[in-house]
Amino acid sequence: MRDERTWLLEAIIAETESDDLVSAYLAGEYLDPATLTLEFRDTVRRGRVHPILLTAAVPPDFGMDNVADIVTFGFSQAANARP
């Protein structure tokens, strides 16, 4: 699971517009989950990150509901923003 978390963090960091978040990540500082969630939503909404959810083998209470909400809100905002 650590590899998947690292991959997701690096995808968010690579596409963020926040210099503070990039600096904190590179310095190994604590990254606030709320800030990461907002950044993730922004990257999905801008079409820079396209998450794939594999839920068949996910244990209960793994947080997939939260991820699904982020994806739903992200994609619905992107869809509404297009003419």
Encode pLDDT of 16-74 as tens digits.
Answer: 888 999 999 999 998 888 888 888 888 888 887 777 666 666 666 666 677 767 666 65
Cα torsion at 81, 41, 12, 50 (round to 10°)?
Answer: -60
Determine the pLDDT at residue 78. Answer: 46
Neighbours of 47 (CB within 10 A): 13
Sketch the domain layout of the chain as residue ranges: 2-81
Determine the pLDDT at residue 61. Answer: 64
CA distance 72 to 77: 8
More confident residue, 9 or 68: 9
Determine the pLDDT at residue 24. Answer: 92
Do 44 and 50 touch, CB atoms closer than 8 A?
Answer: yes
Q: Please state the length of the chain.
A: 83
Determine the pLDDT at residue 82. Answer: 43
